[in-house]
Amino acid sequence: MGKAIGQAIKRKEDPRLITGQAKYLDDIQLPGMVYAAVLRSPYAHANIKSIDTSEAESQPGVVGVFTGKDFADLNPLPCAWQAGGVNNNANTPRTLEIDKVTFTGAGVAVVVAESRYAAEDALQYIHVDYEVLPTVVDAKKATEPGAPQLHENAPNNICMEWTCGDEAGTDKALGEADVVVKQAIRNQRLLPTPMDSRGAIGIYSPVSEDYTVYMTSQCPHIMRLLMTAFVFGMPESKMRCISPHVGGGFGTKIFLYPEYCMVAAVSKKLGGLPVKWMETRRENYVATSHGRDHVTEFEVAAKSDGTITGLKVETYANLGGILSTIAPGIPTTLYGRMLSGVYKIPNIYCKVYGTYTNTGMVDAYRGAGRPEASYLVERAVDLVAQELGMDPTEVRRKNFIPPEAFPYAPASNILNGLKYDSGNYAGALDKALELIDYKNLRKEQEEARKAGRLMGIGFSSYVEICGVAPSAWVGLNGEGWGAGLWESANVRVHLTGQVVVTTGSQPHGQGHETTMAQIAADLLGMDVADVRVEHSDTLGTPFGYGTYGSRSATVGGTAIYNSVQKIIEKAKKIGAHMLEAAPEDVTFEDGKVFVKGSPDKAKTIQEVALAAAVAYDLPAGTEPFLDDTTYYDPPNCTYPFGTHVCIVEVDKDSGHVQIKRYLAVDDVGKKINPLIVDGQIHGGVVQGVGQALWEGAMYDDNGQLVSGSLMDYALPKAHYLPMIETDSTETPSPVNPMGIKGAGEAGTIASAQAVVNAVVDALAPYGIKHIDMPLTPQKVWEAIHSNGNGGN
């Protein structure tokens, strides 16, 4: 490889972001634009008996008021990931709900007005007659006898029952084990909270009868597919979807939402006026999909020497009142299949009930399923260590999948035919122990305890599944994904020598414009500045599946790599012609074609591009222009891993937890841009720390979201955190030619359990085994003072 991959270069996209010139959705103003405000259900479960909009229609500035009945011709939004067990009971949102609502915040009407203030004013004049119904908000209680029933097609509110692994073998292992540790855990509901909430602008053209929709989406191509083919029932050519600058997504902007359909449909009703809808934070919290919310019990079996012999898991996954776009795939494929963690566990069984409750939709949130799996496995390992009186690092080491075992298929075929690609799990742990000075740390802990201070050290050795995914595996072979998961790239070397790369992935903070330019520049021997990356508009980019699942670099980047390779082959052919040499005699190095052994007489890629573009003198049968499009379908996913260490101090008089140090040793394979990788790790770690210590969405029994604002829902703040220490090992992935594994979610997948393990370790003198997240000071204080198990 050349000189750009692996360089920690500054981001190309930053100048417009640090000067206020970047255009996010709400920054877009169009002539004649009108503004939508959505009326949302104040009840979590109700039948809509009638809606009277007449008074609202006559308010000043109001252009139109619409209800679900106005859009009855549009189909419900599709569920695109029907994991095993979802059979004809996928209840999904409508553009606006018509007959009933199953969560607080469901849209029931929309006001469109000349200003956002006027639209807000008119909302209170819409009169909805609700028949209020009883509610249930807990994933497990929803399945119990007597629980309110949300959907006729889902008895006992069960949307799906999904299993993986070997139940008989696991039961046998549990029966024969020296020790079995049983624990109930909750992985609480989270509000993903990208700082830029969601929005959309719909523009209908009455002349061409087509739509343009701007949206805060991580995958505009999928949005167009779902909206046209499934909701509107029309050809894809009738819609263009554009994601402008998107201020963070963390998964929540993967999904198709009712409002995206609504702005398009309303624009049509209004003869083509551009209609903007922009979410408030309150709306973001009630109406944008949430993350996690598992109620789980597990049993882990081990020998007295610490060898883990079995893991049995039962999880109730809360899916909310209706299904978000890929909700069923998260607690199944992305969770159950990763329950072996970094360990050689010979017997695994997992059963998941996906349930409907009167709460907001739950879908992918950074890590999506894998943080839940990793949290469970790493808590289980610590519980085994505690039970056996062993050092937690020793139990980890004893059970690690050894480097020579790769490619490794986790036992009981829980990964459904795939294999972990490569790994050196002990290598990452060793490096972490050395960097953190583990031996002295334990001494320090002992001294702290003597002095009455509660210091704790927590570990998390994790592996995740990234670079999603081989299409045949995720779609055809039982995972239930409704399409493929390849990625596209187009690379063109223009006549001027400048390169344009287009990708079907969609940046919303990850720095694609820099890293993808690095890939092309590196291979073509050019300056990164001469490569422009275009994206996020269905007009002008080939179909692509978008950005999530740490896939942009691994899958999208490989598509670019492959296109560049094909361009280089063509350049060699043309260059050879220019050099009057045979194609097999030339080579391409440092951006130049030359006859092997004669680098002084070379044609630069720019010269070749010009020759290819003007096409005055090309080899016979060669098409003009250096241009290639790749659709790359990965043969496997990738499996980043590492060990994180967290050191905490607990104030025993208040229960307050302070993180003293946090170290992340990650192996993401080869890094394209270490500066960006580190940034991804920092941010990912802090999101997991947020889950461990502060964040938690709370519904009351009536289905009201009581943590409905940033005054109640605690995002991590700067002054609660230390610097995040990062280091890495490098085990290239054999799955793709650059050896990259992906870095977007690793931090989040690894971190929550490092913090919880550290706090439980700090409280070891009190015999505490577990506390459910978030570890609020009250829970920690109560655990200390009840002198027992702080879990549920």
Partner 1 sequence: MTEITVNVNGKSYTREIEPRMLLVHFIRDVLGLTGTNIGCETSVCGACTILMDGQAVKSCTQLAVQADGSDVTTIEGLASNGDLHPVQEGFWEKHGLQCGYCTPGMIMSGVDLLKNNPNPTEDEIRHGIEGNLCRCTGYHNIVKAIQYAAEKMQGGN
Partner 2 sequence: MYPAKFDYYRASSVQEAIQLLQEHEDAKLLAGGHSLIPAMKLRLAQPPALIDIGRIAELRGVTQDNGSIKVGALTVHADVAASDVLQSQCPLLAEAASNVGDRQVRHKGTIGGNLAHADPASDLPAAVLALGGTIHLLGPGGSRQVAAADFFLDLLATDLHEDEVLTAIEVPAISGKTGTAYLKFEHPASGYALCGAAAVVSLNDDGTCAGASLCFNGVTATPHNASAVAAALVGKTLDDATIDQAVNANLSIADPMGDMYASGPYRVEVAKTYAKRALKAARDRA
Contacts with partner 1, residue ranges (CB under 8 A): 10-11, 13-15, 17-24, 26-27, 29, 117, 193-197, 245-248, 250, 280-282, 508-511, 675-676, 678-680, 682-687, 709-711, 715-719, 721, 723-724, 747
User: Residue 640 has which token pair?
Assistant: 């980043």
Least Å distance between CB 655 and partner 1?
21
User: Residue 41 has which token pair?
Assistant: 């259900």
Decide which of partner 2, partner 1, none touches 782; Cβ closer than 5 to 8 Å per partner kind: partner 2
* Closer to partner 2 by Cβ: residue 7 or 280: 280
* Closer to partner 1 by Cβ: residue 35 or 130: 35
Binding mask 726-745 for partner 2 (x = CB under 8 A): --------------------
Q: For partner 2, which residue of 484, 725, 782, 789 counts as binding (CB under 8 A)? A: 782
Classify 303 as helix, strand or coil. Answer: coil
> Residues 431, 434, 439, 440: what is their CA dihedral angle, to the nearest 10 degrees?
-140
* Closer to partner 2 by Cβ: residue 152 or 653: 653
Least Å distance between CB 781 and partner 2?
7
What span, in angstroms and rounded, lies between the C-alpha atoms of 468 and 633? 9
Decide which of partner 1, partner 2, none touches 675; Cβ closer than 5 to 8 Å per partner kind: partner 1
What span, in angstroms and rounded, lies between the C-alpha atoms of 253 and 288? 9
Instruction: By CB under 8 A, tell whether 707 contacts partner 2.
Output: yes
Instruction: By CB under 8 A, tell whether 654 contacts partner 2.
Output: yes
Least Å distance between CB 778 and partner 2?
4
- In this structure, what DSSP letter does residue 370 have? H
Q: For partner 2, which residue of 345, 776, 783, 790 counts as binding (CB under 8 A)? A: 776
Least Å distance between CB 6 and partner 2?
39
Q: Position 50: which residue type? A: S
Least Å distance between CB 190 and partner 2?
13
* Closer to partner 1 by Cβ: residue 512 or 770: 512
Least Å distance between CB 789 and partner 1?
31
Binding mask 480-519 for partner 2 (x = CB under 8 A): ----------------------------------------
Binding mask 227-266 for partner 2 (x = CB under 8 A): ----------------------------------------
| Cα 42 → chain centroid | 29
- 304, 178 Cβ separation under 8 angstroms: yes
**Number of residues binding to partner 2, judged by CB under 8 A:** 28
Least Å distance between CB 34 and partner 2?
15
Instruction: By CB under 8 A, tell whether 579 contacts partner 2.
Output: no
Decide which of partner 1, partner 2, none touches 24; Cβ closer than 5 to 8 Å per partner kind: partner 1
Least Å distance between CB 721 and partner 1?
6
* Closer to partner 2 by Cβ: residue 203 or 775: 775
What span, in angstroms and rounded, lies between the C-alpha atoms of 749 and 761? 20
* Closer to partner 1 by Cβ: residue 590 or 725: 725
* Secondary element (H or E) of residue 553: none
Alpha helices (H) along 253-407:
258-269, 281-287, 370-388, 392-399
Least Å distance between CB 350 and partner 1?
31
Mention every residue, 6+ apart, whose C-beta is less than 8 A from residue 568.
Answer: 523, 524, 588
Cα-trace Rg, the chain: 27
Q: For partner 2, which residue of 98, 158, 495, 698 counts as binding (CB under 8 A)? A: 698
Q: For partner 2, which residue of 714, 730, 734, 789 counts as binding (CB under 8 A)? A: 714
What span, in angstroms and rounded, lies between the C-alpha atoms of 605 and 204? 43
* Closer to partner 2 by Cβ: residue 359 or 643: 359
Decide which of partner 1, partner 2, none touches 706; Cβ closer than 5 to 8 Å per partner kind: partner 2
Q: Which of 82, 147, 541, 102 is nearest to 354 (CA)?
A: 82
Peptide bond into 774 cis (omega under 30): yes
- In this structure, what DSSP letter does residue 496 have? T
Decide which of partner 1, partner 2, none touches 98; Cβ closer than 5 to 8 Å per partner kind: none
Least Å distance between CB 654 and partner 2?
5
Site for partner 2 in 108-127 (CB under 8 A): 116-117, 120-121
What span, in angstroms and rounded, lies between the C-alpha atoms of 672 and 665? 17
Least Å distance between CB 29 and partner 1?
7
Contacts from 386-392 at CB under 8 Å and sequence distance 24+?
A: 386/760, 386/764, 386/769, 387/179, 387/181, 387/302, 388/179, 388/302, 388/304, 388/306, 390/306, 392/459, 392/757, 392/761
Half-sphere exposure of 286 (CA within 13 A, CB side): 25
Mention every residue, 6+ apart, whose C-beta is less than 8 A from residue 9.
Answer: 514, 518, 528, 673, 675
* Closer to partner 1 by Cβ: residue 27 or 437: 27
* Closer to partner 2 by Cβ: residue 425 or 699: 699
Which residue is listed with tokens 């050795």?
A: 461
Q: Which of 16, 8, 15 is nearest to 515 (CA)?
A: 8
SS (H, E, C) 155-211: HHHEEEEEEEECHHHHHHHHHHCCEEEEEEEEEEEECCCCCCCCEEEEEEECCCCEE
Decide which of partner 1, partner 2, none touches 653; Cβ closer than 5 to 8 Å per partner kind: partner 2
Considering only the stretches 392-400, 407-415, 710-718, 745-753, report the one whose residues sit in contact with partner 2 under the rule CB under 8 A: 710-718
* Closer to partner 2 by Cβ: residue 404 or 653: 653
Instruction: By CB under 8 A, tell whether 285 contacts partner 2.
Output: no
* Closer to partner 2 by Cβ: residue 74 or 758: 758
Decide which of partner 2, partner 1, none touches 221; Cβ closer than 5 to 8 Å per partner kind: none
Q: For partner 2, which residue of 184, 409, 710, 764 counts as binding (CB under 8 A)? A: 710
In sequence order, what are the beta bridge partners of 534? 502
* Closer to partner 2 by Cβ: residue 68 or 105: 105
- 185, 193 Cβ separation under 8 angstroms: no
Least Å distance between CB 363 and partner 2?
23
What span, in angstroms and rounded, lies between the C-alpha atoms of 109 and 104? 14
End-to-end CA distance of the chain: 53
What span, in angstroms and rounded, lies between the C-alpha atoms of 288 and 199? 11
User: How many C-beta neighbours within 10 Å does residue 694 have?
Assistant: 18
Least Å distance between CB 462 and partner 2?
25
* Closer to partner 1 by Cβ: residue 338 or 645: 645
Burial category of 3 from C-beta neighbours within 10 Å (exposed 0-12, middle 13-18, buried 19 and up): middle
What span, in angstroms and rounded, lies between the C-alpha atoms of 734 and 739? 6
Angle between helix axes 370-388 and 746-762 (nearest 10 degrees) is: 30
Q: For partner 2, which residue of 24, 406, 720, 766 counts as binding (CB under 8 A)? A: 720
* Closer to partner 2 by Cβ: residue 59 or 461: 59
Q: Considering only the C-alpha atoms of the chain, give the largest distance between any 2 of them, rounded to a whole number of Å.
A: 86
Instruction: By CB under 8 A, tell whether 138 contacts partner 2.
Output: no
* Closer to partner 2 by Cβ: residue 44 or 474: 44
Half-sphere exposure of 42 (CA within 13 A, CB side): 8
Decide which of partner 1, partner 2, none touches 508; Cβ closer than 5 to 8 Å per partner kind: partner 1
* Closer to partner 2 by Cβ: residue 281 or 566: 281
- Residues lying near partner 2 in the complex (CB under 8 A) are found at 116-117, 120-121, 280-282, 653-654, 656, 693-694, 698, 706-707, 710-715, 717, 720, 776-778, 781-782
